[in-house]
Amino acid sequence: MVDIVFILSALLCLASAMTIVTRKNPVYAVIFMLPFFIGMAILFVLLSAPFMAAMQMMVYGGAILVVFLFVIMLINLRPEELQDDFNFTAYIVSALAGGFMGGLVLSFALKGISPGMASAFEHPLQAGEGQPAFGSIESLAQPLFQVHLVPFELVSILIVVALLGAVILAKKRV
Amino acid sequence: MADYLWKLLPILLVFGGVLGIVPFLVFLERKICAYIQDRVGPNRVGLLGPDGFLEAVVGVPITKKRILGGFFQPLADAIKLITKEDFIPSHAEKFLFTMAPFFALLPPFLAFIVIPVGPDVTLFGQSVMLQVADLNVGVLWILAVASLSAYGVAMGGWASNSKYSLLGGIRATAQMISYEVAMGIVLLSVLMHYDSVSLRDMVGVQSAGLGSWGLWHQPVAFILFVICAFAENNRLPFDLPECEAELVGGYHTEYNSMKFGMFFQGEYIAMLGMGALTTALFLGGWHFPGYAWLKETIGAWVTVFALAAFAAKVMAFVLFQMWVRWTLPRFRYDQLMNLGWKGMIPIALLNLIVTAWINLPKGT
């Protein structure tokens, strides 16, 4: 069961990734990132990380992708403005990458992947007594806010600085 | 196998209930609108009498008086929408134009999965959970799914290849992103209060009594959440994506027949979903005053009352949304953005800090 779900979601990821790089129209490329992120979220669930799956959908599938879509829709390229040059290298590279990933999937499928991948929704992996379960929100929060608090806060300062920098760069009159 | 069959019960209950009630919400909306604007509203298509459904089947007039006049208008509308020609404008992007209504309809449905509609019930010796799935990401699932609902509107707006639709789509994406930020922060403070992300746990906390309802403990969060719910559903006073005075119909200007019907259904299901979420987070879920007493008096039959209480709360919220829609004027776009970024988010952050301060002893 887990194997089937893994293979289906991996194929979904691969197919939509191939579609993203081969679309001429950027709106279609952005739209096809959505099934890609959904596939990724399912893979996170299979890896007993449901919180990461939810974050994947909220941050990437929701916020970031909608902003991409917003910008590309605002530019709204006409079909004639989109260059129609056949990029042979892109096709070769994507075919190679796809073949490589397909081979990986196949090798996993032949070997069987079940032992490490219990569905996190049904049976969360149990840690020791008094310890939060692997992949749970608590197990993610404890290292972030107790063990590595200072680096974590420094990273958030870095993100704020980058955000302010982007605003200053984009705004003509400050 | 039997376990899976029992799983079907909450699924049928939730999804059947939602699908069954949507047509009547449309009828209710039109009647309430008419009442507020001092009109009669739909009163023709009924069961018996002129324009009645049975009359149409039989072919001869049965009674002179209209019975249930207007009540079957949703049925007539549905027949009209389904049988109408499914027309795609030649200048539209066919693939995305067809996909958009699905994206408008699916996410509101998915949100219902984690909402507990009633207490656990024992049927024929089998304990059944009246919730489709108690995911351990809980309320985050709803945020993840709600963020998807922007795609239907954005895709529909762009694929129609019309100025009005595109403007509607762009407005919708910007609006939904802005208010999702505020909603996320509001939900964080709610999570801190309940000390859990599972909606089941939240309703469990609230079922201790009327005083334990989230409404009293997180009043600021409640008000902010309701405002965000209006903005997320693109309902008046935040219905700028489809405001008919400037944009004809906004993102669904070019849609007709059942494709339009799916956008329409999606909107009403999203209203119900927001009502159900508000009920579970702030209004005590299926709990009602006197639940414990009634449970001792009539035993397991109390579940029926719990389900009715949940439905009543959701309907009250939906009626509130309709009432607001036909009462308030529309925001201007810059006012909407100012309210979102300069009003809602700072207040939500302040509320988060205060909640964190109050709940600090709980965590340590």
Residues of A within 8 A of B166 (CB-CB) are 73, 76
Inter-chain CB proximity B140 and A67 less than 8 Å? no
Determine the Cα–Cα distance for residues A42 and A54; give it in Å rounded to an integer.
10
Instruction: Give the gap in angstroms from C-alpha A4 to the nearest C-alpha of chain B.
Output: 19
Q: Could you tell me if B107 and B146 are in contact, meaning their C-beta atoms sit under 8 angstroms apart? A: yes
> Is B33 near chain A, with CB under 8 Å?
no
pLDDT tens readout for residues A70-79: 888 777 666 6
Residue carrying the six token digits 């979220």: A41
> Is A58 near chain B, with CB under 8 Å?
yes
φ, ψ for residue B285, nearest 5 deg: 60, -130
What pLDDT score does A119 carry?
46
Q: Could you tell me if A33 and A16 are in contact, meaning their C-beta atoms sit under 8 angstroms apart? A: yes
Q: What residues 127-156 of chain A have any CB closer than 8 A to a CB of chain B? A: 136-137
According to DSSP, the residues that pair with B122 across neighbouring strands are: B127
Determine the Cα–Cα distance for residues B42 and B29; give it in Å rounded to an integer.
10
Reduced to 3 states (helix: H, G, I; strand: E, B; else coil), residue B128 is strand
Inter-chain CB proximity A31 and B176 less than 8 Å? no
Contacts from A24-32 at CB under 8 Å and sequence distance 24+? A24/A82, A24/A84, A25/A77, A25/A79, A25/A82, A26/A72, A26/A77, A27/A69, A27/A72, A27/A73, A27/B96, A27/B158, A28/B95, A28/B96, A30/A65, A30/A68, A30/A69, A30/A72, A31/A69, A31/B96, A31/B151, A31/B155
Inter-chain CB proximity B136 and A53 less than 8 Å? no
Determine the Cα–Cα distance for residues B144 and B282; give it in Å rounded to an integer.
20
DSSP state of A172: S
Interface test with B, best of A58, A59, A119 (most B CBs within 10 A): A58
Residue carrying the six token digits 């790089």: A21
What pLDDT score does B61 carry?
67
> Is B145 near chain A, with CB under 8 Å?
yes
Comparing CB atoms, the residue among B147, B158, B169 nearest residue A61 is B147
What pLDDT score does A118 carry?
45
Q: Which two tokens stand for residue A162?
A: 């980058």
Q: Which two tokens stand for residue B263?
A: 């956008």
Q: Write down how long chain A is.
A: 174
Q: Could you tell me if B192 and B348 are in contact, meaning their C-beta atoms sit under 8 angstroms apart? A: no
Determine the Cα–Cα distance for residues B351 and B297; give it in Å rounded to an integer.
41
**Residue A120 pLDDT class (50, 70, 90 cuts):** very low
What pLDDT score does A77 carry?
64
Inter-chain CB proximity A50 and B137 less than 8 Å? yes
Three state DSSP letters for A11-62: HHHHHHHHHHHHCCCHHHHHHCHHHHHHHHHHHHHHCCCHHHHHHHHHHHHH
> Is B197 near chain A, with CB under 8 Å?
yes
Q: A28 to chain B: nearest residue by CA?
A: B96
Q: Which two tokens stand for residue B6?
A: 């029992």
Exposure letters B253-279 (e unless 16+ CB within 10 A, then b): bbbbebbbbbbbbbbbbbbbbbbbbbb
Q: How many CB atoms lie within 10 A of CB A32?
A: 18
Inter-chain CB proximity A70 and B137 less than 8 Å? no
Q: A58 to chain B: nearest residue by CA?
A: B144
CB within 8 A of A145, min separation 6: which ones?
A: A152
Q: A29 to chain B: nearest residue by CA?
A: B96
> Is B100 near chain A, with CB under 8 Å?
no
What is chain B's pLDDT, residue by residue, as a tens digit (364 residues)? 567 777 787 788 888 888 888 888 888 888 888 888 888 878 777 777 666 777 777 777 667 777 777 777 888 888 888 888 888 888 888 888 888 888 888 888 888 888 888 777 776 766 777 777 777 777 888 888 888 888 888 888 888 888 888 888 888 888 888 888 888 899 888 888 888 888 888 888 888 777 788 788 888 889 999 988 888 887 777 877 777 777 777 777 778 888 888 888 888 888 888 888 898 888 888 888 877 787 778 777 788 888 888 888 999 999 998 888 888 888 888 888 888 889 899 999 999 999 888 887 765 5
What does the pLDDT average to over A12-23?
Answer: 87
CB within 8 A of B341, min separation 6: which ones?
A: B178
Interface test with A, best of B113, B114, B151 (most A CBs within 10 A): B151
**Residue A129 pLDDT class (50, 70, 90 cuts):** low
Per-domain residue ranges for chain B? 90-358
Q: Which two tokens stand for residue B237?
A: 């006073």
Please name which of B74, B266, B81, B306 lies closest in space to residue B155, comparing C-alpha atoms. B266
- Return the amino acid letter for A20: I
What pLDDT score does A161 carry?
92
Please name which of B148, B260, B267 lies closest in space to residue A66, comparing C-alpha atoms. B148
Q: How many CB atoms lie within 10 A of CB B84?
A: 14
Inter-chain CB proximity B150 and A66 less than 8 Å? yes
> Is A34 near chain B, with CB under 8 Å?
yes
What does the pLDDT average to over A120-135?
Answer: 54
Interface test with A, best of B94, B102, B140 (most A CBs within 10 A): B140
Inter-chain CB proximity A63 and B176 less than 8 Å? no
Please name which of B103, B105, B120 lies closest in space to residue B18, comparing C-alpha atoms. B105
What pLDDT score does A122 carry?
47
